[in-house]
Chains A and B, each alone.
Chain A
Amino acid sequence: MNMSKTIAALATPPGSSGIAVIRISGPEAVNIADVHFAGRKSLAEAASHTIHYGKFIANGAIVDTITASIFLAPNSYTGENVVEISSHGSIVVYEEILRNLLSSGASMAKPGEFTERAFLNGKMDLIQAEAVADLISSVSIFSEHASARQVSGEFTSRIKEFKQRLIDIASLLELELDFAEEDLEFISQQKIKQDIELNYDFIQSLIDSYQASQITRSGYYVALVGFPNTGKSTLFNSLLKRERAIVSHIPGTTRDYLEEFLYLNGIPVKLFDTAGLRDSDDIIEIEGIKLVNSILNQANMICILNDASVSENLSNNLYNKLSKEYSSKKIIIVQNKMDLYTGNDLPEDQIKISAKFGNDLTSLTAFIESEARKSTERINDILLNQRQYLILQDVKSLLMNSISSIDDEMDNSFIAFDIRNAIRKLGEFTGEIYSEDILNNIFTKFCIGK
């Protein structure tokens, strides 16, 4: 870590786009940009928080017309001098600009280094930095709001209250242990149990809200499964309205799996197209089928596509099997190829479509949207990330341990053991206690340029 260095990186996602932003931060940011900037005046003369139109020059030639935004220390994202160069979003252009900045004295920024500097310069605390990381990887409006709440710090106060309640219990337990000579009982075990059970519910509700928040953070996961050639890829494409999956009539064409985002009235849905489920001697396809299980584990909804033209009951066994194995998930049968269906004994409550012709697709999308909305209802004012979720899982099992210690008539030293740990864990949760995990979570999650 050398903060005397000036760093630079692309701040917008890599690839071609409308514009690209290259961010430079450090003591030499303005001077380095000036080497290549040709405008009405030099950037060194520019005031903070101003934008300047000009040309980016390298070796006497114009690379692109750009704007340069100036933020001078300490009033910038990183707390250092920052220049943000907006160029046209072609890969060739921004790579050329970046290469020139590096050869003029800037160093390539490491992933998360801008935010790391912001933290080191006291521009934000760790929980805020973590929220920034979450914000970057968030995919919906929901979670942007929630991450913004975390940035404001309001989020930790409830956890701190809870921690304080546990500290009160622990103090009473410790008094009794250390002042045994005084023959005092400061708190009864039953009272402790009551208090813990009260807090236990609170923790459980936070854990529940994580499951829900996962959806706003990463999307509602819908897996399309079914026997080969039931039209999974066709449906996948119809829903995305473009040819993403390779469609053929040969069973087993989708050997790997495909995933894409779909926005249903602002709700992000991640759609997975999977290989057909069957026993196959084709080795590559078997690999694909193994992958199906891992997708089903992540999925919120499993959508079994049935080829109604063959038989309306073909997938019933599959439905029963999956219902048993993935009991916590929403599992439905969708009857496909209705354009070729001639029978008339289909169950009322099943969704019936023709993926190929796009018939009745809205009944399916409306159903997915309503399920996705239902499962986000449990979100309260707090959104957790995975690190925090794992801590709460630990806290929950520690509290369970302490209750079973009480039930087993164990002594206070054993009850205190779990409660003290829970307090420590909650301190790591709020960032009051140093934890390596926070740093790892924050600074490995970032992409370069943030």
Chain B
Amino acid sequence: MFHVEHVFNIMAENKRNNYDIIVIGGGHAGIEASYISNKMGMNVALITMNKNTIGAPSCNPSIGGTAKGHLVKEIDALGGIMPRIADDAGIQFKILNISKGPAVWSPRAQIDKDLYPVVALNYLLKEEKLTIIEETIDELLLVSGRVAGVVLKSGETIHSKAVIITAGTFLRGVMWTGLESNKGGRFGEPSADKLSIQLKDAGFQLDRLKTGTPPRVHKDSIDYTKLKLHPGDDKPAPFSIHTESVINQVMCYATDTNLQVHSILQEGFEASPMFTGLIGGTGPRYCPSIEDKVNRFSDKSSHKIVLEPEGLNTDSVYVNGFSTSLPKETQLKGLHKIKGLENSEIIRFGYAIEYDFFNPYQLKLTLETKNIEGLYYAGQINGTSGYEEAAAQGLMAGINAALQIRNSEPFILKRNEAYIGVMIDDLVNKEHQEPYRVFTSLAEYRLLLRVDNVYDRLSEYAFKFGTINLETYEHLRLKRDYRELAILHSKNTKLKPAAVNPYLSEIGESEIIDTSDVYSLTKRGPVKLSELLKFVENNELFDNIKLDEELINNIQIDIKYEGYIQRQLKEVDYFLQNENKVIPENFDYGKLQSLSTEALNKLSKIRPGSLGQASRIQGISATDISILSLFLRGG
């Protein structure tokens, strides 16, 4: 009858059915929510169908990328676990956009898909107050508008003060390959229909989205001689400050589609669930399927394909850029026209999955639901796509559930503080017709939300919550202090023409006539601070940090882009003016007769906490906000 498995710590019988927090679902959001709340001293139960698929990467074999890499670093700064799992399971590491400005440098790693869940599970098993239970949830236990626990399929009841649902694609998931469909979340796993129905009955608005995945081919069936190399960085860097070092263990390869491929795919359109309207959910514009790309960008004669090994001990290679739900024979025929894949053998065909999500306007910025206290939603269930987006939400839901139990102030990151803040604010305030993923363009204060300053931005919070220890915190604070001091020192440190001119002429810069300070020399386009410091003598601070390549690079960023950063900081001041105009929680929008009907509905539904938040709600005009503002001023 009972299938509650005590994987690591044997709980005393009387405590078994009583926890602070229950996390439903062992995906990336679930891992993060249970890990972080446990770090904050909570007794946590993580309920999943199968502990061995915890954190199983169901789509791409990679973590990070443009803007997503920022999220991973933010998770690290706040004390989360994804960065460490990715480092341990990573097999190729690369910083993207390195030729562009520092605001868009984004770390990315290929991961071993078999190793990732093993590493994830091991991290969770090390936590003392975290229990993993292999079960399916039938329903939530609700007591007077508050969540009080869950009822398992076995009939057993588990009590808790908070529940975090991170059920991902398992809610009424349907998978499509061509016109064939299967019920299920991830390939070969059942979906949780009953919970989905209960939540719908509780008044939550469900909508439908779809996402897709490309085929996997056998590694030995690829003709590597025809492909371009796609290597990792020469000096691979880990995501986490807790990871000493990482190494590149695999090579990826690049190829392209061509017109022949496109015309084959077009023949299969009539058997595509998307084109025939069988899939009602909306698909992502930004991570489009190959049929979408061919259809929408019909003037382009080729699209980039990257072949990414799914692990060290697997034959499976992920065909990145070829996400599809076309019929099997079309997928195969199309792939065979791609250079290097002429004889490829498909191990698993691409498929689309359609699933329910809860429209996140029903959430507070803490990710707690508005109508059931103590109930939190995190991850794909909120309509996001991507492991990183899911993990970041799990982290925030976990922290906020723990803070609520501790009776502490909620933790809301503002748009000027973190990509996490941008994402959650967008989720709650915007309408979603397609899965949400982060982009750097979504961040108004992109120049401030960089990877290089992520610990300066967030480690104070982490230390306050107890999710990083004193040693880590002091280490980070020391670096931040060095960074600030180094700017002053660079202004006061002079270099003589004789010393520095050979370097300047070598890089094509005009030579100096009088002595010049390190600061103004660093500001020049191609000048490297690390090179200048070679000419600096007897400066204790620079002597101390000279060898810390990363720190020197960060100081160089501070100096080179100081003007831009200062201007962006001014904008933040302006932005915060409206963020700080609080709208009382029980504000009666009904008395603002002059509001448009749409604004009245949306404001009453979303209940923004500030004038600034109200102004970002989609469909609310400047006129509506002005009306609100006049009322808030008291006329």
Contact = CB atoms under 8 A, between A and B. Distances in A.
B599 to A, nearest CB: 12
Interface centre among A183, A412, A436 (most CB of B within 10 A): A436
8 contacts: A119-B594, A126-B622, A180-B104, A409-B525, A413-B447, A414-B101, A421-B571, A434-B629
A9 B331 CA distance: 77
A408 B625 CA distance: 39
B623 interface: yes
Contacts of B447: 413-414, 417
A120 B627 contact: yes
B594 A122 contact: yes
Nearest to B632: A1
Given A182-B304, A412-B101, A436-B629, A120 B622 contact: no
B568 A411 contact: no
Interface in B171-205: none
Interface string A124-166: 0110000000000000000000000000000000000000000
Contact of B615 (A1, A420, A434): A434
A438 interface: yes
Contacts of B622: 126, 427, 431-435
B433 interface: no
B96 A181 contact: yes
A443 to B, nearest CB: 8
B446 A413 contact: yes
Contacts of A119: 594, 626-627
Interface size class of chain B, counting residues whose CB lies under 8 Å from the partner chain: 35 or more
Contacts of B446: 413, 416-417
Interface in B471-508: none
A121 B596 CA distance: 11
A415 to B, nearest CB: 9
Interface of A: 1-3, 110, 113, 116, 119-122, 125-126, 174, 177-183, 408-414, 416-417, 420-421, 427, 431-436, 438-439, 443
A435 B575 CA distance: 11
B520 interface: no
B104 A120 contact: no
A398 to B, nearest CB: 9
B277 interface: no
B172 to A, nearest CB: 31
B578 interface: yes
B145 interface: no
A1 B635 contact: yes
Nearest to B615: A434
Contacts of A435: 622
Given A177-B441, A434-B615, A436-B578, A110 B635 contact: yes
Contacts of B633: 1
A1 B593 CA distance: 12
B323 to A, nearest CB: 14
B100 interface: yes
B20 to A, nearest CB: 39
Contacts of B615: 433-434
A435 B622 CA distance: 8
Nearest to A433: B622
B93 to A, nearest CB: 15
B564 interface: yes
B66 A408 contact: no
Given A125-B623, A181-B66, A436-B629, A417 B100 contact: no
Contact of B594 (A121, A178, A420, A439): A121
Nearest to A79: B594
A167 to B, nearest CB: 12
A178 B441 contact: yes
A122 B66 CA distance: 44
Contact of A411 (B100, B286, B621): B100
Given A414-B564, A439-B630, A177 B625 contact: no
B65 interface: yes
Given A1-B631, A116-B635, A421-B571, A413 B100 contact: yes
A434 B97 contact: no
A127 to B, nearest CB: 10
B101 A413 contact: yes
A358 B631 CA distance: 58
Interface string B581-622: 000000000000110000000000000000000010000011
A224 to B, nearest CB: 42
A410 B101 contact: yes
B101 A180 contact: no
Interface centre among A408, A417, A439 (most CB of B within 10 A): A417
B96 A413 contact: no
B577 interface: yes
Contacts of B525: 408-409
Contacts of A126: 622-623, 626
Contacts of B441: 174, 177-178, 416
A178 B564 contact: no
B439 interface: yes
Contacts of B629: 434, 436, 439
Nearest to A1: B635
A417 B564 contact: yes
A414 B626 CA distance: 31
A58 B350 CA distance: 87
Contacts of B555: none
B631 A417 contact: no
B381 interface: no
A342 B593 CA distance: 77
A2 B593 CA distance: 11
B564 A120 contact: no
A178 B67 contact: yes
B440 interface: yes
Nearest to A442: B626
A436 B630 CA distance: 10
Given A413-B440, A414-B564, A439 B626 contact: yes
B373 interface: no
Contacts of B627: 119-120
Contacts of B114: none
Interface in B61-76: 65-67
A180 B101 CA distance: 12
B108 to A, nearest CB: 9
B127 interface: no
B630 A120 contact: yes
Contacts of A414: 101, 447, 561, 564
Contacts of A125: 623
The 10 closest A-B pairs by CB, nearest first: A1-B635, A411-B101, A434-B625, A174-B441, A413-B101, A434-B622, A120-B594, A411-B100, A178-B439, A180-B97
Contacts of A421: 571
Contacts of B561: 414
Nearest to B628: A434
Contacts of B67: 178
B587 to A, nearest CB: 13
A170 B218 CA distance: 42
